[in-house]
């Protein structure tokens, strides 16, 4: 699973690993959400699901080691989802409203971001964006599994 964030082009693997098991998508790391929030221009996120790469470059193949070159004649599936757009000004306002009564727990976060979001609001917006991305990716994973019997 990966996202392409359209700055020019940036690939991220928000689960923290490149090869994903055939299991529900785990909680996403906040790095992708952070890139989206901090971008000078709100990026368009393009979700991509892929499978089969583990057959092209298996962890253990020849003599219990990774092959020196990619293996040929292996089936790879790449499914591209609909672009995801975020209304960041609205999300930032929601984050501020949702967290204004929460006590501040400093966990190493900046006291405020350049756009005035405090720690609780930053955590809220990163969680919100990450949860939306995870939901889209999980739907795409299920669609791909059902369609291609993966």
Q: Angle CA(122)–CA(139)–CA(54) in degrees, nearest 5? A: 95
- Output the six-digit token pair for 145: 């599994």
| Residue 104 pLDDT class (50, 70, 90 cuts) | low
Mean pLDDT of 14-19: 61
Q: Note the pTM of the prediction, 2 decimals.
A: 0.76
pLDDT of 86 strictly over 90: yes
Concatenate the DSSP letters of all residues of 1-56 into one string.
-EEEETTTTEEE-TTS-SS--SSPPPPPPSHHHHHHHH-SSPPPEEEEEEE-HHHH
What pLDDT does residue 146 have? 75
What pLDDT does residue 88 have? 92
Task: Kindly report the length of the chain.
Answer: 150
Place of tokens 């599994």: 145
What pLDDT does residue 23 have? 74
Mean pLDDT of 86-107: 82
């Amino acid at each position: 699973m990966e996202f392409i964030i359209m700055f020019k082009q940036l690939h991220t693997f928000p689960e923290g690993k490149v090869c994903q098991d055939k299991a529900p998508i785990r909680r996403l790391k906040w790095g992708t959400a952070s890139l989206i929030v901090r971008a000078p221009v709100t990026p368009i996120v393009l979700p991509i699901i892929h499978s089969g790469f583990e057959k092209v470059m298996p962890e253990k193949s020849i003599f219990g080691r990774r092959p020196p070159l990619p293996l040929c004649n292996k089936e790879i599936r790449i499914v591209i989802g609909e672009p995801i757009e975020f209304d960041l000004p609205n999300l930032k306002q929601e984050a501020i409203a949702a967290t204004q009564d929460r006590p501040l727990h400093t966990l190493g976060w900046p006291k405020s971001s350049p756009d005035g979001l405090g720690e609780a609001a930053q955590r809220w917006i990163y969680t919100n964006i990450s949860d939306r991305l995870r939901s889209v990716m999980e739907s795409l994973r299920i669609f791909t599994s059902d369609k291609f019997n993966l």
